[in-house]
Structure 1
């Protein structure tokens, strides 16, 4: 039987740990699941064999359901990319004294990743960057896998509903990391609250809310707007249970209120939201190549920067970054539960007072 998303959530705590590629590996999913979140493996950049290994690590540690997330990508072109417009990037490589080259392979094969997910049969497959076909969704259903499609607009939500998805993840413009857009412009979009209301008026499927959710009050807000769950990523990043490069963690914890985040496509070729650093300032207005080529070209630079000052590292974070907490996932879950309950009780009192 294909599971309903609401049935996979912890009673009283309808929160999903966001599937952050490069961050949410099996160790994070296990700890998130044990804390009460619905855990999600960020497998978008994993080879099929790694997806299998990570899935089995999760199953060895917990019997709880979990999600796997994939990037829906077309097969790459065999044509060599034109690197002439990327002198700004090669200059950065020269500054770091590291060689610049084009890798033979820029990303895993999506069809192979998809087959690996079918073989592992997690409770949920969530997708971003593109859309599964009806046949692919039917193949998931045959393995009792629920399908969640990411939508940054109502047309995208309608497209997923028409294809047969079981739920929609509505991603607001506030969200950290990559935009999941596939029909609408990646660098534009609605805030989560208007987006939720608009999609809710057009689609009857269960909705998962993502973007700028960092407190129990925010969880209550999206539930009030018709979401069945909140998906949280940036709020989990400072947790002591996540292994982040030191400059990334320091940046997350030391940003004051009002800190600006910015959408950029310079790291990966797709727009993503992150904290400002020297790389973002240098790359503004510069030419980039499409994902995954640009992503592969900047990977060595990011790897070196992760070991130094982080000025050329992708510091993905959403607009609520300053609300992050330096605690374990278990402690965060308990805090969010209390905040959610307190917010619910406060709202009830205010409502009753307004009626009297």
Structure 2
């Protein structure tokens, strides 16, 4: 019998690639959306299933409502709980992020346990691992971010993951839990809609910023992360484990240098100067998107993905390829265009898979 997998938040960036990965490997996929009538929002997924001949169905369920979840998890072997709130701008009240993240995660876990789902793979973040520590060190799955010393988004991811583990440890149900902790998620789009993690690349290509913020991340390619989700549901020994999925630290300035070098011939004049912190704080008064970076100015994440490599057999492509592919897809979908429209390039024909 073909295995059925539920993917939450179907129209999200990560969920879309997880669906593609599962269909490529012959799984029957059920995916949650908020509104079944909003066909346009999931047209790229419907087209994907048609092209691959895959079995994909959609059901209505929302993280802020119990309705629909019993039907969503019914007859599913595994749940990939990918859906989670991610702010485009800092919330006025941190509870706007924390409560939906925690309650939504528990809602999915309760439904899965009640239905006898074999395993839930939860998408958390390095935000639940690497933040708030007084000593700078390479963080592993044994580490947790310090809740009373971190911003709202990092706090929401930490508290949601902790709630998931507490539920898994306290329930008598046989549903297994595996958690993935990805870094900054980059990679090609599946549709003409970006996620918050694309903003540094988009802003640099579009020259929406005069330079780079002194901030660094540990990126991961969304295609590699989708593979990690599949492996996390397939590898028996993964049950009860966390897995960091991220590469070495990358400063925004390094990202700018790569984009400037590789896309100059297409007319993109990527700013390569690194902005002083005082200027970033000044701009953040007027730009809420920039405001997200203020709490992490001057720092980057340091994490190790050795456990995922060793136990899941997971691998990552070079991050330079990921950044190029991210930029290519932003250009291909018309989200950014070269200032000099007379410039042509073979990259303009690139489309995501």
Q: The TM-score by the shorter chain falls in which range?
A: 0.3 to 0.5
TM-score normalised per structure 2: 0.33
TM-score normalised per structure 1: 0.33
